[in-house]
Amino acid sequence: MDVPQASPIFARRINQDGIDLIKEFEGLHLVPYLCPSKIWTIGYGHTRTVRSGMVIDAAQADLLLDEDLRLFERAVVRLVTVPFNDNQFSALVCFAFNVGTANVESSTLLRLLNRGWYEQVPAQLMRWNRANGEVFGGLSRRRAAEARLWNRS
């Protein structure tokens, strides 16, 4: 008797422009460092499994990034209830990667987007340019890059 096979689950992936944006703004760090939010970080913004004295190579950094991106891709798919294109999806994954899923989930950005107010997203992104209450130029540039990616068709 044939056993029905489970259908493959479609996993939406960030596009190369989104990956490039993350890599540009995170930079590649082969040893741990404290980011502006005082969180130990390695590779391209990886924080979950960083240990003191850890050293990685570029290939390991890419693997860690891919694992991290899977988490944020699934979160964006789960949280956003309206349709969006690949650039919009990638911009949101980049944003979530930087600020965390919980912050996206509780954000005005998500609430407005899920109402279908797509045009509000770039301005909402720009509000997320602070670390520890201080405006950071790098975060302002990153949010502007995410907004540009969001607006590309």
Q: Domain ranges in the chain?
A: 16-151
E-assigned strand segments in the chain: 29-34, 40-43, 130-131, 134-135
Question: Average of pLDDT values for 99-125?
Answer: 98
Cβ neighbors of 63 (< 8 A, separation 6 or more) are none
What's the pLDDT score for residue 10?
59
Angstrom distance (rounded) from CA 52 to CA 40: 9
Residue 2 confidence class, pLDDT cut points 50, 70, 90: very low
**What's the chain's average pLDDT?**
92
CB neighbourhood size of 66 (10 A) = 13
**Three-class SS of 78-117:** HHCCCCCCHHHHHHHHHHHHHHCHHHHHCCHHHHHHHCCC
Annotated catalytic residue 26:
yes
65-104 pLDDT tens trace: 999 999 999 999 999 999 999 999 999 999 999 999 999 9
Q: Which residues are paired to 130 by β-bridges?
A: 135
User: What does pTM read for this prediction?
Assistant: 0.90
Angstrom distance (rounded) from CA 79 to CA 94: 14
Question: Average of pLDDT values for 3-10?
Answer: 45
Q: Provide, rounded to the nearest whole percent, the portion of the chain with pLDDT above 70.
A: 93
Pick the CATH number of 16-151 from 3.40.250.10, 1.10.530.40, 1.10.3470.10, 2.120.10.30: 1.10.530.40
CA dihedral 50, 54, 58, 59 (to 10 degrees): -80
| Active-site residue identified among 24, 26, 67, 119 | 26
